[in-house]
Amino acid sequence: MHPGFPGYLGNGYAPQEPEEVPRYRRRRGTGGRRDSFRISYDNLSSSSSSSHARQSSPKWQELDDAYFQSYSQIGIHEEMIKDHVRTETYRNAILRHQNLISGKVVMDVGCGTGILSIFCALAGARRVYAIEASDIAVQASEIVKANNLSDKVIVIHEKVEKVSIEEKVDVIISEWMGYMLLYESMLSSVIFARDNWLKQGGLILPSHATLYMAPITHSERYSESIDFWRDVYGIDSA
């Protein structure tokens, strides 16, 4: 057991008690309109009243469950971890900020297998709260235990919006980015964590992102996807 934290199990795994609270995180592919490709954590709000009503409905709960079910299998995490550019970039960022992480309390939002949480622990973090809503959290706790880091990394199997911990954190880290940056629609969960758990002047990794777009010409793809419909067995369906 962790001293001062009676609810945490000895292997660093802490399933949270069920609690009915509004859901803030939007599902994949349903991100709202952005007026700028430059994302500022200071300018984004965590939610709106209309989104609260939608997301508390049975329909949205079903989609929510499906979202997390898709992350409960190891395959998708293997694919992400094998993206060496992605994984090395996060590890290098943690090492570059080691002076701000060492001896500090970290929250990893959507920890998956716990790889970023472990990077932070190896960088000297005093404690890491590894938050994961999907069932991969069970595997993450085993990985933490196998690497003898149960005294530092606490895996919490719950949505970040429902998490209850007894202290503010110095650092929030999260791999929230998806295709075209916003596809995972997870940023609002990071904003929620920032507003509720980050100390004044704390560090967020990453804290900014820029999306660049450029027009291209792909005539073969256009022909396959658009021109195809102009003659479908002699029928113009365009």
Alpha-carbon distances of 106 from 31, 102, 114, rounded to whole Å: 27, 10, 13
Alpha-carbon distances of 34 from 31, 188, 211, rounded to whole Å: 9, 13, 12
Query: Which entry of 78, 184, 220, 224 is annotated as an active-site residue?
Result: 184
Rounded CA-CA distance 203/209 in Å is 15
Q: Is 158 in the active site?
A: no
Rounded CA-CA distance 111/173 in Å is 9
Within a 10 A sphere around the Cβ of 78, how many other Cβ atoms? 10
Element (H, E) at 39: strand 38-40
Query: Which entry of 167, 175, 220, 224 is annotated as an active-site residue?
Result: 175
Q: Is 184 in the active site?
A: yes
C-beta separation of 157 from 132 below 8 A: yes
Contacts of 174 (CB under 8 A, 6+ apart): 108, 109, 110, 186, 189, 190, 193, 205
Classify burial at 43, counting beta carbons within 10 Å of its beta carbon; exposed 0-12, middle 13-18, buried 19 or more: exposed
- Exposed e or buried b for every residue in 166-185, given b needs 16+ CB within 10 A? eeebbbbbbbbbeeebbebb
Catalytic residues: 175, 184
